[in-house]
Each structure stands twice: as structure tokens, then as C-alpha cells.
Structure 1
Amino acid sequence: MVPLNDLLLFAGAALLMVLTPGPNMIYLISRSICQGRKAGVISLLGVILGFLVHMFAAALGITALFLAIPIAYDLLKWAGAAYLLYLAWQAVRPGARSPFEARQLPADPPSRLLLMGFLTNVLNPKIAVFYLSIFPQFVSPEHGSVFQQSILLGLTQISVSFTVNLLIALFAGSLSAWLVGRPRWLVAQRYVMGGVLAGLAVRLVSEQRKVTS
């Protein structure tokens, strides 16, 4: 199975991912602020269902890819590093906005909240790219079943995402009021996030060079 050190590093990458603004975060914050905590939690359950779709699709696809094209492992590692650098740039680029600048949304019934949370995540390219490019950094045929390793990583990512997003859904209103009045904190958060993402990308590239040397 996945070594503990690698699993902890992956959990850290998953934490950075969930803290990086994207469609899921923006939707959950908007729902929580506009319609209350209950609506945010229901929407989050839909998001988690979407994660399960991504997880099984990635696990099956990565397993087949590793068996068919061994060099795909190295290619996906480079793609993952490039994607982390892209996220770092998105965090620090001029004009980047805080997800707490939530747009106003009309009230929806629970069934629609669940469905929209699911669709927001299933159609989220950020999550799809994360699963297909970051997963292979932590999967190795030498550690056993690629499929089982992918499922373990997926469940880890889902657990991290659920915990963070639940806190966001519960406290979005308070956080929004606090952060909006402190623009310097928002800027500092963006640059810290960008720096950490860039550092992780460099680490992955360095490991790749060691493997191929």
C-alpha cells in the first residue's frame, strides 16, 4: 500500500487543493452565506458524491494506463508538477479574487441543493485534473495494487475535503465578514498558498529527476 510518509504528503496536497479557490468552494460559500448552514451542508453532501465519481473513474483509468503504458507514470508526474505551478500562479496573479466574495443565489430546495453540489463537482475540471495528474505522484506498482492505492488516496482526499468544506459551510458567514474587512489577510493567504504550491511542484520535479538519473 501507499507508504505513510507519501500518504501524509498527499493529504497535505489535498489540503492545499481544497483551500485553493474553485467552483466547489465558491458554490458552498455562496449557499452557506445566502441560504444558511443547512443549505451549505446539503450542498456539501452532493459535492462528496461527485468526488466518489471522480475517484472511481481515476482509479480505473490510472490502473489501465499503468498496465498499458509504463512511461505514462513519468509523463503524469511532470503534468502534475506543471498543474501545481499553474495553481500557484492562479493564487498570486494580478486580479485574483477571494472566494468569500460570494455571489447572490436564489433559495433552492434540498433536492436541488444536493443535485447542484453533485454537478458542480462532477463537472469541475480542477478536481478532474487533480485526480488524473496528482494521484500518479503517489502511486507505484511496487507498493501493490494500483487500484487499491488509488482508492486509498481518493478516500484520503475526500476525508480532507469533507472536513475542510464542512467547516467552511458552517462558518462561511463569520469568515466572510471577518476577511472582507481585512484585505491584507486575503493577500497574504494568496501568496502563502502560491508559495507552498510552487514548492511542492519543485519537489515533485526533483524526485522525478532522481528516478530517471
Structure 2
Amino acid sequence: MPDTSQLLLFIAAGWLLNLTPGPDVLCIVSHSLRNGARAGVVAGLGVTAGCFVHIFAAALGVGALIAASATAFTVLKWVGAAYLFYVGAKLLLSRGGGSPLGAAVATGAVPQAPADLWRVFRDGFFTNALNPKVALFFLAFVPQFIAPGTTHTTWVFLALGVLFNVNAIPVNVGWALVAAWTARRATAVQRSLAVLDRVAGALFIAFGLKLALSSRP
């Protein structure tokens, strides 16, 4: 496992990255705006469940790749770095108008009758589980916190992935609560999201550069 300082950096980076607007956040916020905070929280739990699919798949895959092929690791490294650069550049160049809260409000999402919570959970699950970019993200992000020479790489990757996902739960709950409370204050929240986009974009690019310059663990 990483040392204490690296583990704290991993947790902090995970929280900031989970605050970044994306399809999962849009799902949580939309349900929260339509049907209240409870529906948003359930959607967030669905997202968390869907994310475990990618964590287990990526843990098994990345362990095998690192153990068997330096070439495969190099290819994966450059694909992952390119993806992180792409996401970072997209966030830095965004104008903030495409934030999930703004998008949900623009669709006319307003509190209505209580939702079918099982359907809401399924929406969150499939929003994440069917997004191949989530798997690519884990393959690009988590290995940077696995020290060179680590034994049992697959188990360390799995532990870090689970930690990342569990740490995302309070963030997802926070999105749901904030969206429900600020349904009529979307303009002010959207300005804050524009700043967050820039910070997260710079962080994505920094991690992409770190990945591109890294050597095989």
C-alpha cells in the first residue's frame, strides 16, 4: 500500500475528482431536482454500485498486464495519459454552461411525486457501469499510487479502488443534498462549478503528465 502521505494525497485527489461534474453527477442532480434529496442519494448509491464493476474488472486486468507485458503496460499508460489530457483540456476550455446542475434545470427538472427508488438506483448503476471511460479512468489513475516493486499488485489496486469508491459516497450524497436545497438558486451554483471545472481540469492534466512520464511498477 502507499505510505501515509501518498494515501492522503490519493484520498484528497479522489474527493476533488469526484466533485468534478460528469454523467454520474448529472444523474444524481437530475433525480434530486425532480424528486428530492432521497432520490438523489439513491441515484448516488447506484453510481457507487456501478463503479464497483469497473474496479473489480480493472484490478484483474491491470494486475495481469503489469505482470505479463511491459509493452501492454506502455500502451495502456499512453492511452490513459491521453484520456486524462483530453478530460483536463475539455474542463479547462469549458465555459461552465454545461454543468450538470445547469443542464438539469434547463430540462425543466422540478420536484414532483415520489420516484420509484429501485428505478432511480438502476439509473445510477447503469450510468456508471455502462460507461467505458470509467474503467479507463481507473486504469489511468490508480496505478500512479502503487509504489514500484509492490507485491500483490492486483490486491493493492483493488484496495485503492474500493477506497476511492467508498470515499465518493459522501460526495455523491452532498451533490444530492445541494441540488435539492438549491433548486431555485442554480445560477449561483453554476458559477461555482465553473471554477471547479478549471481546478479539476488542471489536476487531470497534471496526473496525465505524471502518468506519461512514469515507468512500469
Tell me the TM-score range normalised by the shorter chain: 0.7 to 0.9
Q: Which of 163, 167, 175 is 2:174 aligned to?
A: 167
- The separation in 1 between residues aligned to 2:50 and 2:166, in whole angstroms, is 13
Residue 91 of structure 2 corresponds to residue 91 of structure 1? yes
Determine helix, strand or coil for the equivalent of 1:143.
Answer: coil
- The separation in 2 between residues aligned to 1:181 and 1:12, in whole angstroms, is 25
Residue 136 of structure 2 corresponds to residue 129 of structure 1? yes
Residue 203 of structure 2 corresponds to residue 196 of structure 1? yes
The Cα shift of 1:63 comes to 1.3
How big is the alpha-carbon RMSD for the aligned residues of Structure 1 and Structure 2? 2.5
Determine helix, strand or coil for the equivalent of 2:122.
Answer: helix
Change beyond 3 A, Cα 1:11–1:126: farther
* Amino acid in structure 2 at the alignment position of 1:28: I
TM-score by length of 2: 0.83
* Amino acid in structure 1 at the alignment position of 2:56: F
Structure 2: runs of 5+ lacking an equivalent: none
User: Which residue of structure 1 aligns with residue 165 of structure 2?
Assistant: 158
- The separation in 1 between residues aligned to 2:203 and 2:23, in whole angstroms, is 21
1:61-100 matched pairs, under 5 angstroms: 61-94=61-94, 97-100=98-101
Change beyond 3 A, Cα 1:153–1:120: same
The Cα shift of 1:35 comes to 0.4
Residues paired across the two proteins, number: 209
Query: Deviations for 1:56-93, whole angstroms, at most 9, x for unmatched residues?
Result: 11111111212221333343333333222111112122
TM-score by length of 1: 0.84
Range with greater deviation from structure 2 (124-133 or 178-187) = 178-187
Determine helix, strand or coil for the equivalent of 2:100.
Answer: coil
Change beyond 3 A, Cα 1:162–1:129: same
1:27-46 matched pairs, under 5 angstroms: 27-46=27-46
Query: Deviations for 1:178-209, whole angstroms, at most 9, x for unmatched residues?
Result: 45146644433322222232233333334x2x
Residue 57 of structure 2 corresponds to residue 53 of structure 1? no
Change beyond 3 A, Cα 1:20–1:44: same
Determine helix, strand or coil for the equivalent of 1:2.
Answer: coil
Structure 1: runs of 5+ lacking an equivalent: none
- The separation in 2 between residues aligned to 1:180 and 1:155, in whole angstroms, is 34
Question: % of aligned pairs identical?
Answer: 36
CA contact (8 A) 1:32 1:170 kept: yes
- The separation in 1 between residues aligned to 2:55 and 2:123, in whole angstroms, is 19
Change beyond 3 A, Cα 1:78–1:171: same
